Amino acid sequence: MTVETAFAAYEAVRHRLPPPQPRQPAPLMARTLSDVAGRYDAFLLDAFGVLNIGETAIPGVAERIAELRAAGKQVLVVSNAAGFPHAALMEKYARLGYDFAPEDVITSRATLLAGLNGRTGLHWGLMATRATGLRDLEGLNLTYLEEDPAEYERVEGFLLIGSAAWTEQRQALLEAALKARPRPVLVGNPDIVAPRETGFSTEPGHFAHRLADRTGIVPEFFGKPFTNIYALAFARLDPMPPKARILMVGDSLHTDILGAQAAGVGSALVSRYGFFAAGDPQGAIAAAGICPDIIVERP
């Protein structure tokens, strides 16, 4: 996907996303987070587009986080990272030069697990990549969804957490199974795309919205822009600042900024990395009516 087609894909599913705040004043322009640090006590950082692009760390961000912590700020990662076990994610961040405690990384994978609400005993069909393993998911009755239609027929619900190995054939089997027998669909990553070194990858949200359009099933989403992930982040903040003193920093209007508005916290859009690295953030803000409080060139 290009920036333009990815933006259009998000706009096409706005009816399933939280509504934006009414039009706000023009965003404050800043070079880095250091320029606005005095306004906030806690910083919630997206991962892709803020900490890293694919498997590459964004230069200077580890040092910026150290500066914020030295100034007494709380810094958490709030990421729609559902496809990897928490331990694997921590290993990745350490490899990229970041120093986070495991409990300071809030993911949509953990949000989904917290939102099962007594449904842990169901037999779930799993959209995921086998190579990532099942750490964090050991207590669930899971079947990997692959090419056997019987797998789709016998499960009692579907968990969509990772789409790297997903195919059009598997998507067709999933949609056919849901048309034949509607069942719950839980989405552990609402992202439609994610920025990589060579463009955008297609994420579980893309397939979830597509099946919703084609089957009438209403998926349950866990992660940004939905408030369930922010509830986990707020529970970790100690002390919990006033929401006006919390800043969500991300590269996507439809996940990070819209989610921040839904959760009642401040928002900063990164303009030179991630989603809008090759795009027009100001034009997108005007077109979508989703306006961040701040635009920073880089974290």
CATH of the domain at 147: 3.40.50.1000
**Type and span of the H or E element at 237:** none
Same domain, yes or no: 76 and 59: yes
**139 with 154, same domain?**
yes
Looking at the fold, whether 174 and 27 belong to one and the same domain comes out as no
Q: With 0-12 CB in 10 A as exposed, 13-18 as middle and 19+ as buried, what is 139?
A: exposed
* Total of domains in the chain: 2
Per-residue pLDDT of the chain (299 residues; tens, 9 = 90+): 889 999 999 999 999 999 998 877 899 999 999 999 999 999 999 999 999 998 999 999 999 999 999 999 999 999 999 999 999 999 999 999 999 999 999 999 999 999 998 898 999 999 999 988 899 999 999 999 999 999 999 999 999 999 999 999 999 999 999 999 999 999 999 999 988 887 889 999 999 999 999 999 999 999 999 999 999 999 999 999 999 999 999 999 999 999 999 999 999 999 999 999 988 999 999 999 999 999 999 99
| Pair (133, 93) in one structural domain | no
Question: Does one domain contain both 102 and 131?
Answer: no
Domain extent for 38: 3-110+224-296
Structure pTM? 0.96
How far, in Å, CA of 94 to CA of 22, rounded?
Answer: 39
Looking from the CA of 44 toward its CB, the CA atoms found within 13 Å total 32
